[in-house]
Structure 1
Amino acid sequence: MKPFSGRRAPRVLVVTRAVPGADSSAGERRLIHISAMLAERARVDLVSVGTDRPGDEPARIRALRVDHGVNVPYGGRPVDMVRTLRGRGYGLILVEAWDVAEAALPILRQCQPRAVLAVDTVDLHFLRDARAAATTGRPDPEQQARASRELETYGSADTRIFVSEAERDLYEGLPGAVTSSNAVIPIVVQEQSTASRAPRPGEVVFVGPLWHGPNHDGVNWFCSEIWGDVLRSLPASRFRIIGSNAWGYAMDTAALADCPGVTLEGFVADLSSVYAGAAVVVAPLRFGAGMKGKVCEAMAAGAPVVTTSVGAEGIRAVPGTDLLVADDPADFARAVVALLVDGHLAASVGAAGAAAVSRQCGAAVVRPVVHALLAGVQQRNVPAPERLRARRAPKLAVAAAWRLGRRLQARRQWASR
């Protein structure tokens, strides 16, 4: 659909950690889809508050504007969030992730007191952190305090957006959680024809950026505890690891490349050809949260998927029919081998998975949900003194915006260690 171009179009602001790109991750592709769908009914501006990914913004900004009708004011530089707020009245402000929202919401509330402030959880970070500590045996002493801040941030927003019904229900079951104005917008997948699939015998594929902790842990687990069993049954099998080690963060991947039959290929621009040639796609995730884009996108392409219960979380799919699910290493290996040796089973699982994920995550299904979010926005009635303070707020918020960008960069670098 074409972007909304009417004079009376409502205004929406999307606040992100960095300018999203379709070539980065499924999470960023989801944000692009949501922004584009909003732009079908509103005038959408997008600003980033992070500074950790310089150099690639111009191409991303052009794609957002030309392909999706989303404007990125002032080249997306972090300080320009305040300049964007000055003199513009937004009805809806959507903030990506709780850590961005924690610092940004006070500024946004002060500068745009009439706007409805929505936080996109992306996934429940406190759930991911708790699972990581339990799985790896490395507790984080700051985990509980960080979880409290995350929940407090959700509570301070007017609307919360979850990626699945499972995470919404989990949040609403917590003490003190806000149980109203909660929406669910899943991963968005493009409708694809599976007729062009030409799986190469023995080819097993993992897709995902290796800077993300659950991905790195899952690939190591697969190589050390599962892949050997696959090779003993099918010695000619190959395991391709596709995914960027983004932004230059150091990551111990040498051991992965030394495994027999394993190739660590890094970033691949055209994932459609990867999925078309994969005999099996694996998502061996031992911890994480949210809906896994790597699983949804592989299913949408018609590739048979083997994953864990964590990897299948939030997806309305039937294990054994739409995808195969195993948490034990031996069971996981048997599931991979079964799909490699039985082409009819692989084709059946791939076709069923594509149909299942389309019913939940297809653009035609998600679009009305996004439009309903915009239609439900009612500007807050703000007293005159508060409006006066809002006009003065940008002068006071410039330094805060700079600090926000630096804090986010420091957090990202710390998390990658």
Structure 2
Amino acid sequence: MGDILFLAHRVPFPPDRGDKIRGFNIVKYMSERRRVHIIAFADDDRDMKRKSGLGRFGGNRSIIWRSKPQWLSALQALALRRPVSLTAFENRPLQEAVDNILARHSIDTIYVFSSQMAQYLPARPRQRVIMDFVDVDSAKFDAYARSSRGLRSWMMRREATLLGQFERQVAARADANILVSQAEADLFVERTGAERVFAVENGIDIEFFDPSAQFKRVEAMGDLIVFTGQMDYRPNIEAVTWFVDTILPHIRVSRPSARFAIVGRRPTDAVKALAKQPGVMVTGEVADVRGWLAAASVVVAPLKLARGIQNKVLEAMAMGRPVVATQAAAEGIDHAGTIKVGQGVGEIAEAVIDLLANRDAATELGAAARAHVMARYSWAACLAPLDQIVGLNGRPMPARRTAA
């Protein structure tokens, strides 16, 4: 068997946000069975400094700095009639790194992590191509278009159309197409007509996210409601804004001391402004999110737009915390009733209030969530399908099929 080339739109180390967590664990899993070379972008100077953490995986690694401004990507996309998602990641040094690795090493499999990186595939690859779309990005832009107006809505519709065409073209060339959940896989088949589509779910590090592990604790704050996430990401911004503006006031009528902590790196000005509202705090980046999760009376995931499996929900469940999520945030997770799911303002507010008022029930729900995650969502169990899909065990690829 030859080596694997792993192409990623963001360097998968340190595993401190959703896409990097998935990428890191896939690289770790594959490198225990095959030699893996990594070529990826970095858009955070701290990631450039810490990229040496990938050295233990044994193969070559090329981490390319990505600094193209969004406005330039948009102009190029309009001029070339391409999706902004592709022009934003168009980079000659990275293409040269790919060409060099393919020329110098015996690569028999290229694992492409996210659709943006498919533009770096050879025109007629001799290697097997494993395309990990993760989510159906074109569907995300469709949703953005519906919730936007004017020029922004037009740009989002354009992106959805062009990216959808690209997804179909790439899927037709790939030997296997991977999505993060069965729901996303089914949606992908519906939108693209693709074959050879498989669901490979996200897992959770149940030893790290363990309420009994050693980590710095956050002082108890009574009725503390916590949201975690990357706070310059539009769905997260919309989620916390909706919660603060419409849901938290209902909660504070019954629980006046309730506080809402927005925990995550790079909060935008709009997110920071939410701290002016009664009972709201914005922490910015924290060294270890486990302290805030452990202190939470309830963890919320009030996302209106969500694709695939939400790591933030799995992390809270693994920490034994009671979770209240929207249907969109819970859709990709087999939670077996161990989290509360609501849709409108009233349902979510009522679920949070009930858990704050009944600590025994909240504790019981959190314990059940952790037990379920331990049984269902270890990374080893979730990534086991890669043995056959990628051919890690030396066996033939599975028969071509579509998602159920």
Answering whether residue 38 of structure 2 is matched by residue 46 of structure 1, we say yes
The match for 1:394 is none
Seen in structure 2, the aligned counterparts of structure 1 residues 70 and 221 have a Cα distance that, compared at 3 Å, is: farther
Check whether the contact 1:211–1:245 (CA below 8 A) recurs between aligned residues. Answer: yes
**What's the CA shift for 1:296?**
1.3
RCO (CA 8 Å, sep 6+): is it higher in 1 or 2? 1
SS of the aligned residue for 1:228 comes to: helix
SS of the aligned residue for 1:201 comes to: coil
The match for 2:319 is 301
Check whether the contact 2:181–2:332 (CA below 8 A) recurs between aligned residues. Answer: yes
The match for 2:228 is 207
Answering whether residue 14 of structure 2 is matched by residue 26 of structure 1, we say no
The match for 1:391 is none
The residue type equivalent to 1:13 in the other structure is: L
**1:363-382 matches, cutoff 5 A:** 363-375=379-391
SS of the aligned residue for 1:183 comes to: strand
Check whether the contact 2:179–2:185 (CA below 8 A) recurs between aligned residues. Answer: yes
SS of the aligned residue for 2:6 comes to: strand
The residue type equivalent to 1:42 in the other structure is: R
Seen in structure 2, the aligned counterparts of structure 1 residues 244 and 23 have a Cα distance that, compared at 3 Å, is: farther
- TM-score, normalised by the number of residues in structure 1: 0.79
**Structure 1: tracts of 5 or more residues without a match:** 1-8, 381-417
1:278 to 296, 313, 318: 296
1:236 to 233, 247, 257: 257
Instruction: For 1:158 and 1:116, locate their aligned partners in 2 and report how far apart those are by CA, in whole Å.
Output: 6
**Structure 2: tracts of 5 or more residues without a match:** 66-93, 398-404
The residue type equivalent to 1:123 in the other structure is: D
2:358 to 339, 342, 356: 342
Instruction: For 1:70 and 1:305, locate their aligned partners in 2 and report how far apart those are by CA, in whole Å.
Output: 39
**What's the CA shift for 1:151?**
2.6
Answering whether residue 88 of structure 2 is matched by residue 71 of structure 1, we say no
Per-residue Cα deviation, 1:271-330 (whole angstroms, up to 9, x for no partner): 222211111111110012111111111111111111100000111123xx3101111112
Check whether the contact 1:189–1:296 (CA below 8 A) recurs between aligned residues. Answer: yes
The residue type equivalent to 1:144 in the other structure is: T
The residue type equivalent to 1:62 in the other structure is: S
Instruction: For 1:256 and 1:70, locate their aligned partners in 2 and report how far apart those are by CA, in whole Å.
Output: 45
The match for 2:137 is 125
SS of the aligned residue for 1:306 comes to: strand
1:265 to 271, 283, 288: 283
Answering whether residue 8 of structure 2 is matched by residue 16 of structure 1, we say yes
**What's the CA shift for 1:230?**
1.2
Seen in structure 2, the aligned counterparts of structure 1 residues 332 and 155 have a Cα distance that, compared at 3 Å, is: same
**What's the CA shift for 1:267?**
0.9
The match for 1:253 is 271
**What's the CA shift for 1:144?**
2.1
Q: In angstroms, what is the RMSD of aligned CA positions?
A: 2.5
The total of aligned residue pairs comes to: 356
Check whether the contact 2:6–2:37 (CA below 8 A) recurs between aligned residues. Answer: yes
SS of the aligned residue for 1:256 comes to: helix
Identity fraction in percent:
27
The match for 1:385 is none
The match for 1:356 is 372
SS of the aligned residue for 2:117 comes to: helix
Check whether the contact 1:98–1:120 (CA below 8 A) recurs between aligned residues. Answer: yes
Check whether the contact 2:9–2:116 (CA below 8 A) recurs between aligned residues. Answer: no
- TM-score, normalised by the number of residues in structure 2: 0.81
Seen in structure 2, the aligned counterparts of structure 1 residues 360 and 151 have a Cα distance that, compared at 3 Å, is: farther
The residue type equivalent to 1:71 in the other structure is: G
Seen in structure 2, the aligned counterparts of structure 1 residues 379 and 81 have a Cα distance that, compared at 3 Å, is: farther
SS of the aligned residue for 1:119 comes to: strand
**What's the CA shift for 1:200?**
4.7
**What's the CA shift for 1:177?**
1.7
Check whether the contact 1:73–1:80 (CA below 8 A) recurs between aligned residues. Answer: no
**1:154-233 matches, cutoff 5 A:** 154-174=171-191, 177-180=193-196, 182-192=197-207, 193-195=210-212, 200-233=221-254
**What's the CA shift for 1:366?**
2.1
Per-residue Cα deviation, 1:156-205 (whole angstroms, up to 9, x for no partner): 2221111011111222234x52232x222211201244456996520111
The residue type equivalent to 1:234 in the other structure is: R
Seen in structure 2, the aligned counterparts of structure 1 residues 200 and 268 have a Cα distance that, compared at 3 Å, is: same
